Copies of this chain bind each other. A is one copy, B any other.
Amino acid sequence: MDSLVRYAENGIITHQMEALSHAEGISPEIIAERIAEGSIVIMQRDDRMTGIGAGLSTKINVNLGTSTGKVSVEDEIEKVRIAEMFGADTISDLSMGGDINAIRKAVFENSTLPITTVPVYPAAVENGLKEMTDDDIFATLRRHADEGVSSIVVHCVNRAMLESFRKNKRILGMVSKGGSITSAFMLINECENPFVERFDEVLSLCKKRDIVLSLGNTARSGCIHDCRDRMQLEELRQNIALAHRAHENGVQVIIEGCGGHIRSDRISKYVKQYKKQSPFPLFVAGPLPTDIAAGYDHIAGCVGGSMASTAGADYLCYITPAEHLGLPNPEAVKEGLIAFKIAAHIGDTVKYGKDAKDKKIAHIRATLDPKGQIVHALDPARAQAFSDEEDECTMCGEFCAIRIMRQY
């Protein structure tokens, strides 16, 4: 089997492209063209195709997984269930605590969604950060590929960036976990980045199973005061160059960027700048336009995610209300996911004028049909709870503007 990029380059429409065409209402020829130019990728899992990129609806990733501070397999399975039920497009299993291989297996068994992993996480846990070798990292990478992950994340921080980090004036230096583990590996072993050094091996692993390569965002800022700096620009430059190399080798690739903490007036600008420089789908974490919202970072993240998707971001990594405080519980996963469903949709209403769902709800409201609103709600049980179990909306009672205007 050849890779989707190669088929697309040869003008061959595959069943994956057909399925995506059907789901998104775009012709398979256009999808093939965009895969060939790198602006669309398809994350595959069995019969499930999640397309990300130009002209496709904005997608949402749900991070889940244990940490060394908190392990509950039941919770993780419940998070998977919530991700499926409330409409996540992909899952990332970031487990680092407990029996991580068994947890990953449980995530696979309980989900139908494409799964992403960051192989350097389990490699560090299983081998120890100090003892881990680059062969250990690549063994984990290979294992995940064999297990059928749809996408893997690698952080391509280089030594020049680390030198910049050391000298920098950020309040919060490096806040990427994968980036910091990779950086620690480079500092402990006084070596260059193993993913960059052995990039051809990464590519051949990805190409073999058509795994989407996600180039991580080590240099994202950890507070809105930490602005775009030399590390961010250098990382973006390098990631775009690596993405071109991946794509030329027939590997589907996306770039993480414009995420983290960014003041709201800069979000749209950064996304648009990225889009001018790169054809590859943009994966954005958040972003958070303020640092004051601990406990409600899903709401701040919805604001940033709406701005990013409106400006052209293709794929959003959700943020839960537990962000900065602890590992999210299943309820926090649900709150985060729904907030980002709203953000993605707000983006799509502008990017593509996709307001059919809004129009449907507006017509339901025009008929004063509370049941219809609940059926079509993002979370029907919650919408029902606010409806007081009355037949009539209690918000305005008999002084309903719509009803009054109908009458007179």
Residues of A bordering B, CB below 8 Å: 67-70, 96-97, 121, 124-125, 129, 165, 171-177, 179-181, 183-184, 187-188, 222-226, 263-265, 289-296, 298-300, 302-303, 306-307, 310, 321-329, 332, 338-339, 342-343, 345-346, 349-350, 355, 357-359, 361-363, 365-366, 370, 373-374, 376-379, 382-383, 385-388, 390, 392-402, 404-405, 407-408
Apart from A69-B396, A69-B397, A299-B302, what 6 extra A-B contacts exist at CB < 8 Å? A69-B392, A165-B405, A171-B362, A293-B378, A303-B306, A324-B365
- Give Cα distance in the complex from A70 to B387, angstroms: 11
Please name 11 pairs of A and B residues whose Cβ atoms are closer than 8 Å in the assembled complex, sorted by A: A67-B397, A172-B365, A184-B408, A224-B362, A264-B306, A291-B362, A294-B373, A295-B382, A296-B378, A321-B386, A324-B393
Q: With A67-B394, A225-B362, A395-B327 given, is the CB distance from A290 to B382 under 8 Å?
A: no
Pairs A-B, 9 closest by C-beta atoms: A68-B397, A69-B394, A223-B362, A69-B397, A180-B401, A67-B397, A295-B383, A325-B386, A291-B358
Chain B residues contacting A171 (CB-CB under 8 Å) are 359, 362-363, 366
Q: A357, B292: Cβ atoms under 8 Å?
A: yes
Chain B residues contacting A388 (CB-CB under 8 Å) are 69-70, 326-327
Chain B residues contacting A175 (CB-CB under 8 Å) are 401-402
Q: With A264-B310, A408-B188 given, is the CB distance from A401 to B179 under 8 Å?
A: yes
Q: With A70-B394, A322-B386 given, is the CB distance from A343 to B303 under 8 Å?
A: yes
Question: How close is A366's CB to chain B, nearest CB, in angstroms?
Answer: 5
Q: With A124-B399, A382-B295 given, is the CB distance from A342 to B264 under 8 Å?
A: no
Q: With A293-B378, A326-B395, A386-B295 given, is the CB distance from A222 to B302 under 8 Å?
A: no
- Give Cα distance in the complex from A394 to B302, angstroms: 23
- Give Cα distance in the complex from A306 to B301, angstroms: 12
Chain B residues contacting A399 (CB-CB under 8 Å) are 67-68, 96, 121, 124-125, 177, 181
Q: A174, B405: Cβ atoms under 8 Å?
A: yes
* Contact among B67, B350, B377 for A264, CB-based, below 8 A: B350
Q: B387, A325: Cβ atoms under 8 Å?
A: yes
* Contact among B296, B300, B342, B349 for A296, CB-based, below 8 A: B342
- Give Cα distance in the complex from A223 to B226, angstroms: 38
Instruction: Name which of A172, A338, A408 has the most chain B CB atoms within 10 A of its CB.
Output: A408
- Give Cα distance in the complex from A124 to B329, angstroms: 48
- Give Cα distance in the complex from A187 to B408, angstroms: 7
Q: With A177-B401, A183-B405, A350-B265 given, is the CB distance from A394 to B327 under 8 Å?
A: yes
Q: B404, A300: Cβ atoms under 8 Å?
A: no
